[in-house]
Amino acid sequence: MWSCFRIHKEREEEKRHLLENEALLLEELITSFNVRSNPIRSFSKKELQRATDNYANNYHQGLIGQWYKGTYEDRAILVTKFTKFREYPPSQEDIGRRIKDVVVASQMSNHKNVLKLLGCCLETEIPLLVCEFAARGSLSDYIYEKELGPSKKNPQLLSWESRLRIATEIADAVTYLHNGTSKPIIHRAIYPHNILLDEHYVAKLFHFELCISIPLGQTHVDADLSSWCPGFVAPESRRIRRFTEKSDVYSFGVLLFEILTGKGVSNILEELYSVRAEKSCWLINCEFLMIEDNEEDIRVYLKANILKGNAEQLMACAELAIRCVKVNPEERPSMMEVAKELRRITRFQHDSV
């Protein structure tokens, strides 16, 4: 008797979540992105439990959710499920973010360098996303130099040629995000952890929960940071909560720094300012690559720490990265200009160091 009551109660909750999330999804489509999206499949809660063997195979940890590998109709899939923090229940903001992820991902899924959204489940308190499977995992697993000893090499580290191609692919995806809809969409979370690689190491941008659109007729949008990764947030966004397309350009520039050096931005910042920190103790906690008049210091640092590979390409990419992290947003290139420049750099003749 009690089991029947429990099953009935669970079904009532699923129906309630479905109706509430459908209403939120429609509202987000209408108000933010003009009801233009690609068709996606609606999965039931039970279908995804079966597909993932009740979420047995952890695949990737996102900012507010865990990704699980599953199989549906003989096809490998990824399902992202909200992860509760401590004893706190999910907030309305958490639900809103996931709804936004569904909306933006459905719009961007046609791009070859965006993780394709296959569908979602609206029967849970926070909707579940179902995406194509990316076999190689996160870019962050393949770009950082590992401390394995002087005689060992990490076979997972990507070559410079692969890194340059991946950087170009992500630049294309962000360019599409900025220019592919009636209102520019700012990603706000361009980190290596939010880039997956398929079996051929093709880059797939994902995690659109923090995206915001610039209202028509406006040049920027003011918004809370919500969630941020130290070192990747543009100065104007960190200080006055102002976001434009150039905010993403800054984050992409930091990504280029990591790709070029094989080091995380926290390590780069610490090494870059270690000498100055002896004179100004606050600099050791600086969150921005470019401050005051340190552009030449950055060039010297990059030249000393850059990877092995095509010298002309590496130095051209280093100059591009420096332009992307300029303190003044107006001095940064657009993402379209960045993508064009990376293609031009790719055509340089080989001249390995």
Q: Would residue 59 count as lying in a domain?
A: yes
Q: What are phi and psi of 14, to 5 degrees?
A: -60, -40
Residue 12 has pLDDT above 80, yes or no: no
- One domain, residues 160 and 89: no
- Which of 38-47, 206-215, 281-290, 296-305 holds the top average pLDDT? 296-305
Q: How far is residue 278 CA from its own chain's centroid?
A: 35
Nearest CA-CA partner of 134 in 153, 117, 154, 155: 117
Q: In the chain, pLDDT over 90 holds for what percent of residues?
A: 53
Q: Would residue 41 count as lying in a domain?
A: yes
**How far is the C-alpha of 103 from the C-alpha of 181, rounded, in Å?**
12
Q: Would residue 185 count as lying in a domain?
A: yes
Q: What is the CATH number of the domain that holds 229?
A: 1.10.510.10
- One domain, residues 96 and 158: no
- One domain, residues 270 and 316: yes
- One domain, residues 121 and 225: no
- One domain, residues 247 and 171: yes
Q: Would residue 212 count as lying in a domain?
A: yes
Given pLDDT bands bounded at 50, 70 and 90, which one contains residue 277? low
Q: Would residue 141 count as lying in a domain?
A: yes
- One domain, residues 117 and 147: no
* Structural domain ending residue among the three candidates 132, 147, 172: 132
- One domain, residues 59 and 85: yes
Q: Would residue 336 count as lying in a domain?
A: yes
The partner residues of 213 in beta bridges, in order of sequence, read 185
> Average pLDDT, stretch 2-8?
46
Query: CA 57 → CA 70, 80, 186, 210, distances in Å?
Result: 7, 12, 32, 26
CA angle, corner 294, sides to 220 and 234, nearest 5? Answer: 20
Predicted local distance difference test score (pLDDT) of residue 321: 98
How many domains does the chain fold into?
2
Q: What is the CATH number of the domain that holds 15?
A: 3.30.200.20
- One domain, residues 12 and 145: no
* Structural domain ending residue among the three candidates 111, 132, 153: 132
Predicted local distance difference test score (pLDDT) of residue 295: 92
Q: Which of these ranges, 80-84, 108-112, 160-164, has the smallest mean pLDDT?
A: 80-84
- One domain, residues 35 and 145: no
Q: Would residue 119 count as lying in a domain?
A: yes
pLDDT digits (tens, 9 = 90+) for 176-227: 999 988 889 999 999 999 999 999 999 999 989 889 988 888 888 988 876 6
292-297 long-range Cβ contacts below 8 angstroms, 24+ apart: 295/322, 297/272
Structural domain for 268, as ranges = 137-346
Tokens representing 25?
Answer: 């999804």
Predicted local distance difference test score (pLDDT) of residue 36: 54
Q: Would residue 352 count as lying in a domain?
A: no
Specify the higher pLDDT residue, 83 or 129: 129
- One domain, residues 280 and 189: yes
* Structural domain ending residue among the three candidates 132, 153, 172: 132
- One domain, residues 82 and 144: no
**How far is the C-alpha of 104 from the C-alpha of 211, rounded, in Å?**
8
- One domain, residues 104 and 199: no
pTM: 0.87
